[in-house]
Amino acid sequence: MRIKLKSHSESESLIFSLPFTEIKDYLYNLEINGKSVFFIVDKSLLAFKQYRKFLENKRFFLFNATEDNKSLESFFKIHNFLLQNKADRKSLVVGVGGGITLDITGFAATTFMRGVKFGFIPTTLLAMVDASIGGKNGVNFKGFKNYIGTFNHPSFVLISPEFLKTLPQKEFNVGLAEIIKYGAIYKPELLDFLVSNNEAIKSKTLDALSYLIDESVKSKVEIVEKDFKESGLRKILNFGHTLGHALERLKKVSHGEGVAAGMVFASYLSFKKGYLREKEFKRIVEIIKLYGLPDYIKDVNLKDILEGIAGDKKKDGEKIDFILLKGFGKPVIEAMDLLEIENGLQDLRKYYRI
């Protein structure tokens, strides 16, 4: 795969999927073209020999990738590293890691000397299909996620599914939830593929992973190109995320688990409103369960969920934008009031006989 992501801003990305062994050649070519390259690397990758070898003879900053460290303090440390190593405006900064590492790398690069070029080598499934695409960079601030940041595309994204062989199952599932999302809101073929290639995907067969990644990347690129700064269409990417974020905060479930349960709820609301057939709602549930993701998170207080949803930054007055489906690949953005959401949550409980 080789895709160019164009946008209304000056920046654009070249996105490649390529074998791990070819990443080195790509970077080598940049270096012989006179670029000094600096790497910001997820520290946990050092546990694996193949990644340690990859970093030989490179200048790199090791980043302990946690949400707490996705902070202004780490941002300044990265700036300090670049300064001490005499990076200049012609330097290139490359993030190697999951979404946390890429988000902070993009933010540091776009602010260092008012912005230097940067590239991404995503190493988690979520980073490959989501965080590396779309130009959102940033850090958390005072407990708010991604509160300070920039919009700017990396010059390149090098995707090698081989990284996924070392990724823990729980992290792999986070990416799968986003792929199910693309299938539901944009590319229904992905849903069919997820059902008919379940074994190949679970055993991380490279061909199956490449198909999933390529089709997901294409989906996100097409959506982002139409709406870079999230004023309209891009909001559909939040399918399942409003409830998902609330569950993540309240129950400490992973992002993927929250989004999975959130997608079930949004599909259920769509079914209750007569937008989606029950068969389609059940298909979403079936796929989510097939991949070991939760379709429902138990033991959550309804009032807490509603407060969690209302506190979401996408809130608009009393109404909250919810992404619903009028069929697979046919999302609609609907402003819903809290009472409607509460009724929906209660009905879903009854549906699950809880």
Ligand X SMILES: NC(=O)c1ccc[n+]([C@@H]2O[C@H](COP(=O)([O-])OP(=O)(O)OC[C@H]3O[C@@H](n4cnc5c(N)ncnc54)[C@H](O)[C@@H]3O)[C@@H](O)[C@H]2O)c1
* Residue 283: its H or E element: helix 278-290
Map residues 292-311 to x or -, x wherever contact with ligand X holds by CB under 6 A.
--------------------
Does residue 241 carry a catalytic annotation? yes
We find the least distance from the C-beta atom of residue 165 to ligand X, in angstroms, to be 8
Binding mask 105-144 toward ligand X (x if CB under 6 A, else -) reads ------------------xx-xx--xx--x-x--------
| Residues 6+ away with beta carbon under 8 Å from 233 | 223, 226, 227
For ligand X, which residue of 29, 50, 85, 166 counts as binding (CB under 6 A)?
166
Residue 197's φ and ψ, nearest 5 degrees, are -120, 30
Site for ligand X in 39-78 (CB under 6 A): 42, 44-45, 65, 67, 70
* Separation of alpha carbons 283 and 279, rounded Å: 6
Q: Where are the beta strands (DSSP E) in the chain?
A: 2-5, 13-17, 37-42, 59-63, 92-97, 117-122, 136-141, 144-151, 156-159, 315-316, 319-325, 331-337
Can you read off the two tokens belonging to residue 186? 């944009």
Options 14-22, 97-105, 311-319, 341-349: segment touching ligand X (CB under 6 A) = 97-105
Q: In this structure, are strands 59-63 and 37-42 parallel, antiparallel, or unpaired?
A: parallel
**Nearer of residues 136 and 187 to ligand X, judged by Cβ:** 136
Q: Which residues touch 122 (CB under 8 Å, ≥6 apart)?
A: 97, 98, 99, 102, 128, 131, 132, 157, 159, 163
Q: Give 171 or 214: the residue with its C-beta nearer to ligand X.
A: 171
Q: Is 79 designated active site?
A: no
CB of 284 to ligand X, least distance (A): 20
Amino acid, res. 6: K
Give me the active site residues, please: 114, 136, 178, 220, 230, 234, 238, 241, 245, 255
Chain residues in the site for ligand X (CB under 6 A): 42, 44-45, 65, 67, 70, 97-101, 103, 123-124, 126-127, 130-131, 134, 136, 145-146, 163, 166-167, 171, 174
